[in-house]
């Protein structure tokens, strides 16, 4: 199954350079000093990242054609929607480790940087598998359908990655301190170096991203087989995840039915992969279906969140272990 890309090596280098410059400005200029991110600040940064993502998509539309532009936009919407699951876990992680709000941005910054590197590797591996083994496309599709169905029937509540075997193993072998030391991930205590709770929070954020990337990356391959579009749509969605967290952290539990919209998206794109050999679903149709499912689940959640209608609502997040 051949993979075609619209990007030259120079385009890849230019995009990665742009991302690194933006991250450097973020941490080195705008968030040089630790502080609690306000809703107004989060709203501003969310608008910036969404605007940049849309401008980039417009560039793809102009340079590579409407179909590739729609592929990028659909992939971005899917990844943005699925990344909302991460927000539920971020709330749990920061609450479990009592991370001060002023230090949360630093954890998410380095968590996002690590996520970009790991997702680049996962996308490269996925693209190589699809190119070499035609049948892996159907494996991805079946996995997405099963994951979506599991989200519907699972009622276990919010994910708790701090209870996973991997995290417990790391915590056992890594010397740690129970005290925060400003923005430091490691400090010296006597003759040894120990990890602070801030580093443990970073580990949990990275574990969370790997778990959720397992279904979000195959979902975008259902829309496009261009690795550049898959990567760039992922990157823009992840870059906007930090500001989205600070914008929605206090109200994220109101989206009680969002999990059903996300589950439906996974089933839809998984089914699309399974029938791709015989049925060609136009990209504009995929975009419309995804937007309708996510938007509908958000509207239903807000309606259900009205006073007097919250009883019996199911927890919003899926398992993360």
316 lies in some domain:
no
Do residues 210 and 23 touch, judged by C-beta distance below 8 A? no
36 lies in some domain:
yes
Sign of the Cα torsion 29, 35, 41, 43 reads positive
What is the pTM (predicted TM-score) of this model? Answer: 0.77
- Which residue in the block uniquely carries the two structure tokens 């519907």? 152
Name the helix (H) or strand (E) containing 192: strand 192-195
249 Cβ partners below 8 Å, 6+ apart?
87, 90, 91
193 has which bridge partners?
188
Question: How far is the CA of 205 from the CAs of 210, 220, 267, in angstroms?
Answer: 9, 22, 26
First to last CA, the chain: 32
The upper half-sphere exposure of residue 14, i.e. CA atoms within 13 Å in the direction of its Cβ, equals 7
Q: What is the pLDDT along the chain (321 residues), one digit of tens a residue?
A: 445 677 788 888 999 999 888 888 876 666 667 667 777 888 888 898 999 999 999 999 999 999 999 999 998 988 888 877 777 778 777 877 788 888 888 888 888 888 888 888 888 888 888 778 777 878 888 888 888 888 777 655 555 555 666 666 776 777 777 778 778 888 887 778 888 888 888 888 888 777 777 777 888 888 888 889 999 998 998 888 888 888 777 666 677 787 788 888 888 888 888 887 788 878 888 888 888 988 888 888 878 766 555 444 444 444 444
Distance (Å, whole) CA 148 – CA 316: 14
The number of folded domains in the chain is 1
The two three-digit tokens of residue 15, written as one number:
């995009």
Full residue range of the structural domain in which residue 159 is found: 9-304
315 lies in some domain:
no
1 lies in some domain:
no
How buried is residue 276: exposed, middle or buried, by Cβ count under 10 Å (0-12/13-18/19+)? middle
313 lies in some domain:
no
Distance (Å, whole) CA 9 – CA 21: 18
Task: Read off φ and ψ for residue 192, nearest 5 degrees.
Answer: -125, 160
DSSP 161: G
- Which residue in the block uniquely carries the two structure tokens 């975008």? 220
């Amino acid at each position: 199954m051949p993979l075609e890309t619209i990007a030259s090596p120079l385009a890849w280098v230019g995009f990665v350079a742009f991302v690194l410059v933006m991250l450097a400005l973020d941490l080195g200029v705008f968030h040089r000093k630790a502080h609690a991110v306000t809703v107004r600040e989060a709203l501003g940064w969310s608008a910036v990242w969404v605007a940049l993502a849309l401008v980039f998509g417009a560039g793809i539309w102009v340079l590579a054609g409407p179909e590739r532009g729609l592929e990028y936009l659909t992939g971005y919407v899917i990844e943005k929607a699925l990344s909302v699951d991460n927000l539920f876990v971020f709330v749990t992680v920061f609450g479990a480790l009592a991370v001060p709000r002023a230090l949360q941005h630093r954890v998410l910054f380095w968590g996002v940087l690590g996520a970009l590197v790991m997702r680049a590797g996962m996308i490269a591996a996925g693209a190589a598998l699809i190119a070499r083994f035609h049948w892996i496309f159907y494996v991805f599709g079946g996995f997405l359908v099963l994951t979506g169905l599991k989200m519907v029937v699972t009622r276990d509540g919010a994910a708790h990655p701090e209870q996973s075997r991997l995290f417990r193993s790391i915590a056992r072998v890594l010397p740690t301190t129970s005290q925060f030391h400003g923005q430091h991930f490691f400090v010296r205590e006597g003759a040894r170096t120990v990890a602070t709770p801030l580093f443990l929070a970073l580990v949990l954020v990275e574990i969370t991203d790997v778990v959720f990337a397992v279904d979000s990356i195959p979902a975008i391959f259902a829309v496009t087989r261009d690795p550049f579009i898959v990567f760039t749509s992922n990157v823009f969605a992840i870059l906007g995840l930090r500001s989205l967290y600070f914008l929605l952290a206090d109200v994220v539990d109101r989206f009680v039915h969002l999990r059903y919209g996300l589950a439906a998206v996974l089933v839809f794109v998984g089914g699309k992969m399974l029938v791709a050999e015989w049925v060609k679903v136009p990209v504009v149709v995929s975009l419309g279906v995804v937007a309708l499912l996510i938007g509908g689940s958000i509207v239903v959640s807000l309606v259900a969140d009205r006073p007097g209608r919250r009883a019996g609502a199911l927890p919003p997040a899926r398992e993360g272990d």
